[in-house]
């Protein structure tokens, strides 16, 4: 695994966190990060906990082929409940909040200024099949980068 650096360094007071090579779907991670970008930290935490509890759906704006409509989505009908990816993003968000509190930032004034995903390594695997064949069974990984900024 190579060393990952942050994509941007914002101006002013900020805190950041990164989750490296998390075993989640890259498509789910991208849609969740797009949904929470720009939210206040407390609202994003509630949103992710509701996704895990199957109460609110994440709007799937790009990867939405054969994705059913969900009630409660405003402005976009297609959505899903990516629980595994939501748990991973929530963990990164909690790390960023802890880093912000360590730096002396107020949690009530924090906004998710940057949430992005990068494709990680793919771990190759094989599943044996009949007649001596094998089917690839790969595990994709994702690196999540999150930067919280303090608004005045």
Q: Read off the pLDDT of residues 103-114 as tens digits, 9 standing for 90 and up.
A: 999 999 999 999
Round the average pLDDT of the chain to a whole number and report it: 94
Is residue 68 exposed (0-12), middle (13-18) or buried (19+ Cβ within 10 Å)?
exposed
Structure tokens at 148: 């919280």
Domain 14-150, CATH number (from 3.90.470.10, 1.20.1730.10, 3.40.50.970, 3.40.50.300): 3.90.470.10
For residue 101, the model assigns a pLDDT of: 96
Q: Spell out the domain ranges in the chain.
A: 14-150
**Distance in angstroms (rounded) separating the CA atoms of residues 150 and 21:** 27
Q: What is the pLDDT of residues 17-75, one digit of tens each?
A: 999 999 999 999 999 999 999 999 999 999 999 999 999 999 999 999 999 999 988 88
pTM value surpassing 0.75: yes
């Amino acid at each position: 695994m190579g060393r990952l650096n942050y994509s941007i360094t914002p101006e002013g007071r900020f805190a950041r966190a990164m989750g490296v090579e998390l075993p989640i779907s890259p498509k789910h991670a991208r849609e969740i990060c797009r949904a929470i970008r720009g939210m206040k930290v407390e609202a994003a935490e509630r949103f992710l906990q509701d996704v895990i509890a199957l109460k609110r759906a994440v709007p799937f704006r790009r990867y939405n082929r054969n994705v059913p409509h969900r009630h409660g989505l405003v402005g976009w009908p297609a959505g899903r409940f990516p629980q595994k990816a939501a748990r991973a993003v929530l963990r990164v968000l909690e790390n960023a909040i802890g880093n912000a509190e360590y730096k002396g930032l107020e949690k009530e004034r924090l906004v998710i200024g940057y949430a992005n995903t990068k494709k990680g390594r793919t771990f190759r695997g094989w599943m044996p099949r009949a007649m001596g064949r094998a089917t690839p069974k790969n595990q994709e990984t994702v690196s999540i980068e999150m930067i919280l900024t303090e608004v005045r």
